[in-house]
């Protein structure tokens, strides 16, 4: 069977969920990855009756939910909290903004999300982790001995109890490896895994768009972490072949400006080689969803989501179960 092609609802949270589900079905999707913002999935309300109602609503449109995403709350678990977080967190999580209180409430909410996923019958929760050391990514003034180690220890201290709860429930947490997180490339992902002793509940939501413009081997990531790819985002990005005014770090320039070095694109319109990604996913026997996270500041989103769905469905193909030249053996 082909892998299900789903739509991540995070960029559509301005729409009521039912409105979006009707659109997603019309766009051609098989299901959705529900974001925990807007009215799409509200963890604080997610008792069994709430989850049953969500499943019934999905069924009404012939769709399934394959993952729940807690990117915004997860970000606060081990981040350096400041006023920016108030705009992305539920008021009950941000509270008075006192940093440690925010972090503790966020951790409790991520655990609650795992319980809600269990009630939904969804095996994966995607999200961010935040990072106490992202501000040290460019080492000047030079990082002090032990600062980076302390950051990974902070990640382990805060997230291991969360992963333990996930494991008890049989739910996986999939970190979207991404700038601003404890893991943002292959080297930092390896270090994050090591920090939590390769906890069985911890893996990755693979998204190539965050690797390509950094110069990270986005196909190699799949092969290196073949047993930790719990979910896949299909998201594209383009980067310039010639020098630009705003480089890899963005130059404090808004997205979709011509002087940026890189920008997100509708799937199939950027520089990511999705053919190689599908082949690598086949090699590691990943048969989970391919979730379109649609972002393109220069294109109508309904047009883009429709063409992205068609692109992914056309590109996806099942792995072979034979060795082709074995057919020459007549013995």
Confidence band, pLDDT 50/70/90 cuts, at residue 123: very high
Q: Taking residues 286-312, report their average pLDDT.
A: 98
Query: In this structure, what CATH number is given to the domain that contains residue 37?
Result: 3.20.20.150
User: How many domains in the chain?
Assistant: 1
Per-residue pLDDT tens for 201-245? 999 999 999 999 999 999 999 999 999 999 999 999 999 999 999
User: d(Cα 38, Cα 19) in Å, to the nearest integer?
Assistant: 12
pLDDT at 141 over 60: yes
Beta 262-265 vs 236-239: how paired, if at all? antiparallel
Residue/partner pairs of 146-155 with CB below 8 Å, 24 or more apart: 151/182, 152/182, 152/191, 152/192, 152/194, 152/195, 153/195, 154/78, 155/78, 155/129, 155/131, 155/182, 155/192, 155/195, 155/196
Per-residue pLDDT tens for 9-21? 999 999 999 999 9
Residue 226, pLDDT score: 98
Q: Taking residues 197-203, report their average pLDDT.
A: 98
Confidence band, pLDDT 50/70/90 cuts, at residue 284: very high
Q: Taking residues 41-61, report their average pLDDT.
A: 98
pLDDT at 96 over 70: yes
Residue 321, pLDDT score: 80
The whole-model pTM stands at 0.96
Can you give the residue range of the structural domain that contains 298?
5-328
Cis peptide before 88 (omega within 30 of 0): no
Extract the tokens encoding 83: 């006023």
Q: Taking residues 82-103, report their average pLDDT.
A: 98
Q: Largest alpha-carbon pair distance within the chain? A: 76
Confidence band, pLDDT 50/70/90 cuts, at residue 47: very high
Residue 329, pLDDT score: 63
Residue of 277, 4, 8 whose CA lies nearest to 127: 8
pLDDT at 134 over 90: yes
How many other CB atoms sit within 10 Å of the CB of residue 199? 18
In the chain, the percentage of residues whose pLDDT exceeds 90 is 95
Extract the tokens encoding 58: 């999905």
pLDDT at 1 over 70: no
pLDDT at 331 over 60: no
């Amino acid at each position: 069977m082909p892998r299900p092609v789903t739509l991540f609802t995070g960029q559509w949270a301005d729409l009521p969920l039912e409105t979006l589900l009707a659109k997603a079905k019309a766009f051609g999707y098989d299901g959705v990855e529900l974001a925990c913002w807007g009215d799409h999935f509200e963890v604080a309300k997610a008792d069994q009756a709430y989850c049953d109602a969500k499943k019934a609503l999905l069924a009404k449109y012939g769709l399934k939910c394959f993952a729940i995403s807690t990117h915004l709350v997860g970000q606060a678990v081990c981040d350096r909290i400041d006023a920016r977080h108030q705009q992305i967190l539920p008021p009950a999580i941000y509270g008075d903004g006192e940093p440690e209180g925010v972090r503790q409430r966020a951790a409790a909410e991520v655990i609650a999300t795992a319980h809600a996923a269990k009630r939904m019958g969804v095996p994966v929760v995607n999200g961010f982790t935040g990072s106490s050391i992202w501000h040290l990514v460019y080492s000047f003034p030079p990082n002090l001995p032990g600062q980076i180690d302390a950051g990974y220890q902070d990640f382990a201290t805060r997230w291991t109890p969360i992963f333990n709860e996930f494991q008890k429930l049989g739910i996986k947490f999939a970190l979207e490896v991404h700038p601003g997180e404890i893991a943002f490339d292959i080297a930092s992902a390896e270090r994050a895994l090591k920090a939590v002793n390769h906890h069985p509940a911890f893996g990755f939501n693979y998204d190539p768009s965050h690797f390509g413009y950094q110069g990270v081997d986005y196909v190699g990531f799949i092969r290196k972490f073949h047993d930790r790819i719990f979910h896949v985002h299909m998201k594209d990005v383009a980067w310039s072949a010639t020098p630009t005014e705003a480089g890899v770090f963005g130059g404090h320039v808004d997205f979709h400006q011509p002087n940026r070095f890189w920008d997100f694109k509708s799937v199939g319109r950027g520089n990511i080689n999705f053919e190689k990604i599908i082949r690598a996913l086949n090699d590691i026997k990943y048969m989970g969803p391919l979730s379109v996270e649609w972002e393109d500041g220069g294109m109508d989103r309904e047009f883009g989501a429709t063409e992205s769905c068609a692109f992914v469905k056309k590109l996806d193909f099942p792995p072979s179960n034979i060795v082709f030249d074995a057919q020459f053996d007549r013995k």
